[in-house]
Structure 1
Amino acid sequence: MESRAAVIAVLVADGVPGHQLTVGPMVFTTAATAFRTVEYDVRVCAATGTVETGEPVLRFAVPHGLDTLGALGAGDTVLVTGHRAYREPPAPALADALRGCAARGCRMAAVGTGSFTLAALGLLDGRRATTSWPRLAEFTALFPRVTTVPSGEPSVADGPFHTAAGVFGGLDLAVDLVERDHGVRVAAEVARRILLPFHDQVAADHQEIEREAVERGVDIGPTLEWLETNLHRPLTLDEIAAHAGVSVSSLNRRFRARTGQPPLQYLLGVRLQRAQLLLENSETPVEQIAARTGFGSSANLRHHFQRRTGTSPRGYRAAHRVLTGIAAKPEGEGEGEGEGEEGRGS
């Protein structure tokens, strides 16, 4: 009998956060694209024909209905995303469909407030689970039979039930499911392909600056080193020029010749790189990182970090932990033979 691809049914409803709609499917399709022996059939389904996302509101047609859930069995996965009406009990048709999936041995997963849906059906009773961090207290109060896991764990597995908090919790959950299906090597490659653009952006910018500096050969090296050791201070152009022993106009010319940037823009890049390293290699709170790198406040750090990397400092730290946590795991057995990084084509 010919085997079929494992189905990943992504269940959505009005108010689904955009990242929850995309992150899980991105992980599974990346795995299937990168490894020719990995087969996932990702299907977005809903109880209604159209669904709207949360802010910003986008309305889209959903290609599959609840009949998709009725056809699932062992080896398939249901991924329930967060939604606006998470406090309300699931409609009878949806409740029957989800209970049927669980009874047939499907793997059941939920991201964010999707955990409320599984818990409302009693499927999480006696199990460990988590949800969106701002909703943990509410979840605990509503479902006392569920052992609520605090926000230190972005995703939680208990038997065939998997729950996660937020965007990077959902990413952690999806990568974990890939690892369970296909081993550490596949999961690490998927994480690398998805997260490396976040991880490398600031470092790549700084390396390019250093390369250009060497090529131009203009020596303001002592001032650059001085900046590195004084990032915590609210440095001004006049102060930097005074250290270099030149006028502000001359300082600007020298910095542009050496780094390709004006002094304060260069300083911003160095501060962001230092913040990146602290996020990766320490447990220092974001507020303290902001002070130590000269941003003054966490809001100011978040603003500049978001513009440079596309994610927040806390999001970057969570993503880096997912990436390094998987990459650091020893290779185990049963990762699939003959799996190569041969793409299937565009």
Structure 2
Amino acid sequence: MAGDIGACMWDLYEIAIPASVFGMPQPDLADPWYDLRICTAPPVPPPASALPPDHGFSLRTPHRFEDLADAGTVIVAAVPEAVVYGQPFAPGLIEALRQAADAGARMVSLCCGAFALAEAGLLDGRRATTHWMYTGELAKRYPNVQVDGSVLYVDDCDVLTSAGMTAALDLCLHLVRCDLGAHVANQLARRMVVPAHRSGGQAQFIDLSVPVTDDESLGPVLQWATEHLDRPLTVDELARRAGLSTRTFYRRLQSVTGTTPLKWLLNQRIARAQTLLETTSMPIEKVSEHSGLGTATNLRRHFTQRVGVTPTEYRRTFDVV
């Protein structure tokens, strides 16, 4: 992982997320797990006016930016000193990012870490995102970057960028899903008590097996729905189970999840199909039935639109025969 590990607490938040996702072994989910190393420049006391007073603490690490050359994935955490406070990028960071990319590393940024990737020229001609407060600044500073402020993260093959703050968690779980599969990512998300939904325009969703919500009237019924996805569920039925009118249920679910009940159900069905394709040899027809998508044709259509590959191709990735 790369980034300036300075004193800013906002910076430390984006460091804590990948540390929690990749730095804590999960041998029952995948063994070996990731080998996370936090890299930074040699510590230099910041100018007295560079950061707000008493706004954080420092973090020491034995790994330096030159160690990034050996990484398979490089994650750049937020760099507020270069974006918010007008300070230079950490010495050696930009060149280290270029060298890591040249060596074939997958390059990832969290929040305003996208500015470092852009400074290194790694976002030129690519679609990317950052914290919504700084999308305009990113586009202004780096006009060759196709800035999209409407998404939680952008996956552009070997270069990925996330929006601000907790969107970093969405992207980190997406990396786990890409590397280790939907089942592992979903189980890890459940352990981290991550919501089953993310709002915000065209936001991409992390679909969990067990939905979590602070709305006490929705939590139980969404839990029940994920346990009965093989049934032909309707919005009216879910509303009755929640003790709400259909209109009120629709409004509350859309407010909490940022999507409609039918789209939420479709996301859950696709997630169930992914798990079945990864972990069983169940025929495609049965996968479609158990996930509530009906026919194999219907499964293929929705699955390909949502995941980008057919169910058969997805299964082949995980060597399920």
State the TM-score bracket (shorter-chain normalisation): 0.5 to 0.7
* Candidates 179, 183, 186, aligned match of 1:188: 186
Give the corresponding residue for 1:279.
255
What is the one-letter code of the residue matched to 1:192? R
- Gaps of at least 5 residues in structure 2 are 196-210, 221-242, 278-313
What is the deviation of 1:178? 0.7
Matched, 1:109 2:99: no
- Gaps of at least 5 residues in structure 1 are 1-7, 208-227, 231-270, 285-319, 339-346
> Any idea what SS the aligned residue of 1:109 has?
strand
Separation of aligned partners in 2, 1:113 and 1:12: 14
Q: 1:109 to 1:150 in 2, by over 3 A?
A: same
Separation of aligned partners in 2, 1:127 and 1:281: 29
Q: Percent identity?
A: 28
Structure 2 counterparts to residues 212-223 of structure 1, below 5 A = none
Deviations 1:180-225 (A, max 9, x none): 1111111111122223589255539997xxxxxxxxxxxxxxxxxx
Separation of aligned partners in 1, 2:218 and 2:125: 49
Q: 1:72 to 1:282 in 2, by over 3 A?
A: closer
Structure 2 counterparts to residues 168-179 of structure 1, below 5 A = 168-179=166-177
Contact 1:86 1:113 in 2 (8 A): no
Higher relative contact order (CA 8 A, sep 6+): 1
Q: 1:90 to 1:104 in 2, by over 3 A?
A: same
Deviating above 4 A after TM superposition, structure 1's stretches of 4 or more consecutive aligned residues are 8-11, 50-56, 204-207, 273-276, 281-284, 323-326, 334-338
Q: What TM-score do you get using the length of structure 1 for normalisation?
A: 0.55
Give the corresponding residue for 1:211.
none
* Candidates 5, 8, 32, aligned match of 1:12: 5
What is the one-letter code of the residue matched to 1:49? P
What is the deviation of 1:102? 0.7
Deviations 1:42-97 (A, max 9, x none): 22221133789989722133213325534424xx2111111222245535522221
Structure 2 counterparts to residues 35-184 of structure 1, below 5 A = 35-49=29-43, 57-67=55-65, 69-73=67-71, 76-87=72-83, 90-91=89-90, 93-151=92-150, 153-184=151-182
Q: 1:56 to 1:92 in 2, by over 3 A?
A: closer
Give the corresponding residue for 1:333.
315
Contact 2:37 2:63 in 1 (8 A): no
What is the deviation of 1:134? 0.9
Contact 2:69 2:96 in 1 (8 A): no
Deviations 1:137-184 (A, max 9, x none): 111111110111122x10001121110011232011101111111111
What is the root-mean-square deviation of aligned Cα atoms in Å?
4.0
Contact 1:45 1:62 in 2 (8 A): no
Q: 1:54 to 1:128 in 2, by over 3 A?
A: farther
Contact 2:39 2:68 in 1 (8 A): no
Greater C-alpha Rg:
1
Q: Which has the higher helix share?
A: 1
